[in-house]
């Protein structure tokens, strides 16, 4: 028998796919979305929301959220302002939507007696990924030296001996060191949700998304993901621009796999009084340069341009360990890299923001 699920941000890229997956599995879906201009191309919900019960509203509005929670069994909290941000002037907006909005939601859930939460978190909470030194084993890398970056040396060094480090899979118990405003707000969401779970006996799955791509991604915005930025360039007839040397490792996971693992989390209660983080990934690491080259081939466009440099919040390698999600929820990704990227070349994307 299905459950009733409130999906905040349910008109967005990932949230809308979760809504569809849950409906296909026989659950009752209620979508709340503020339709923020930075994420949506207009003031009306996108066409893919038509099949779902939809409410236009802000998760920061306690009265709206409280009213929607009546009869809800599980909340799937996807609403957030995403992306690196442009500069520190974005910080109040990120903190307001992501952290204050989460606090309002958690208070309303407590008042309504709703005790189950599936939270959209992110790999960005890890900052740099996991690294090992030949001499010192697993170590925290030292900050990248500007002289190394300027010389085209992008891998981090061991803080103890200065040797170059090699990347390892990042488990969920790795140190959490956010390096951007967005990352800081995502970690704060986890802390708020963990406190709520301890205080109420509720349970939380914190889904640490890695590089999600697929249909309905936003395009032509500084907040879009790298796959969307590459495709937009190719559609303009331009070579995709790849920073550093293109060899930075990531895990690119298809949005339909992300929707499925969220549905599994909705259907499987977590541990009462605890937050359980899960890497949401494909388990198939690839470089950013590989993504750009594969997409260029699929679009029959120019080959990527490797331009060097690095942005202050960028990290070198973040490659996830998928084991816990498999063990806890039986999740394994189904969409392979080549298959997913080939489809992404022609997938429908979200219209550009209007402001």
Please report, for the chain, the start and end positions of each structural domain, with discontinuous segments joined by +. 4-130+168-346, 131-167
SS (HEC) of 69-109: CCCCCEEEECCCCCCCCCCHHHHHHHHHHHHHHHHHHHHHH
Q: What is the phi/psi pair of residue 243, to 5°?
A: -75, 170
Q: Is 1's pLDDT higher than 60?
A: yes
Indicate the helix (H) or strand (E) that contains 196.
helix 181-200
Q: Determine whether 143 is exposed, middle or buried from the number of CB atoms within 10 Å of its CB (0-12, 13-18, 19+).
A: exposed
pLDDT for residue 31 is more than 70: yes
pLDDT band at residue 355, thresholds of 50, 70 and 90? very low
The gap from C-alpha 299 to its chain's centroid, in whole angstroms, comes to 25
Asked whether the predicted pLDDT for residue 161 surpasses 60, the reply is yes
* pLDDT tens digits, 188-213: 999 999 999 999 999 999 999 999 99
For all residues of the chain together, what is the average pLDDT? Answer: 94
- Spatial distance between the Cα atoms of 65 and 310, rounded to a whole number of angstroms: 40
In this predicted structure, the answer to whether residue 33 has a pLDDT above a threshold of 70 is: yes
In tens, the pLDDT along 303-325 reads 999 999 887 778 999 999 999 99
| CATH class (in words) of the domain with range 4-130+168-346 | alpha beta
Condensed to tens digits (0 to 9), the pLDDT of residues 248-290 reads 999 999 999 999 999 999 999 999 999 999 999 999 999 999 9
Q: How far is CA 7 from CA 74, 230, 255, 350, in A?
A: 9, 29, 16, 19
pLDDT band at 222 (very low <50, low <70, confident <90, very high): low
Torsion over CA of 191, 196, 198 and 204, rounded to 10 degrees? -80
Mean local confidence (pLDDT), 43-66: 94
């Amino acid at each position: 028998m299905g459950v009733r699920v409130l999906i905040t941000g349910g008109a967005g890229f990932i949230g809308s796919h979760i809504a569809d997956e849950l409906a296909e599995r026989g659950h009752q879906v209620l979508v709340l979305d503020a339709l923020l201009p930075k994420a949506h191309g207009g003031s009306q919900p996108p066409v893919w929301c038509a099949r779902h019960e939809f409410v236009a509203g802000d998760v920061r509005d306690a009265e709206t959220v409280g009213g929607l929670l009546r009869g809800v069994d599980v909340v799937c909290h996807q609403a957030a302002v995403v992306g690196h941000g442009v500069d520190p002037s974005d910080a109040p907006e990120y903190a307001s939507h992501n952290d204050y909005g989460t606090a309002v939601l958690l208070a309303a859930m407590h008042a309504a007696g709703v005790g189950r939460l599936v939270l959209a978190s992110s790999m960005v909470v890890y900052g740099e990924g996991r690294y090992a030194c030949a001499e010192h084993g697993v170590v925290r890398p030292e900050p990248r030296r500007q002289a190394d970056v300027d010389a085209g040396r992008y891998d981090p060094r061991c803080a103890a001996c200065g040797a170059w480090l090699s990347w390892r899979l990042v488990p969920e118990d790795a140190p959490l060191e956010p390096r951007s405003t967005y990352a800081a707000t995502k970690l704060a969401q986890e802390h708020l949700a963990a406190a709520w779970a301890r205080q109420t006996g509720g349970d939380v799955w914190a889904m640490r998304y890695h590089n999600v791509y697929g249909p309905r991604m936003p395009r032509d915005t500084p907040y879009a993901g790298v796959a969307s930025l590459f495709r937009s360039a190719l559609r303009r007839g331009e070579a995709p621009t790849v920073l550093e040397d293109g060899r930075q490792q990531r895990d690119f996971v298809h949005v339909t796999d992300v929707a499925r693992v969220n549905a599994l989390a909705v259907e499987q209660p977590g541990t009462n009084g605890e937050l359980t983080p899960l890497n949401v990934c494909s388990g198939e690491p690839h470089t950013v340069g590989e993504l750009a080259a594969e997409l260029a081939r699929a679009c029959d466009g120019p080959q990527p341009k490797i331009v060097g440099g690095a942005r202050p919040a960028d990290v070198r390698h973040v490659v996830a360990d998928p084991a816990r999600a498999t063990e806890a929820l039986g999740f394994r990704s189904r969409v392979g890299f080549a298959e997913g990227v080939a489809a992404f070349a022609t997938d429908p994307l979200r219209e550009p923001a209007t402001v």
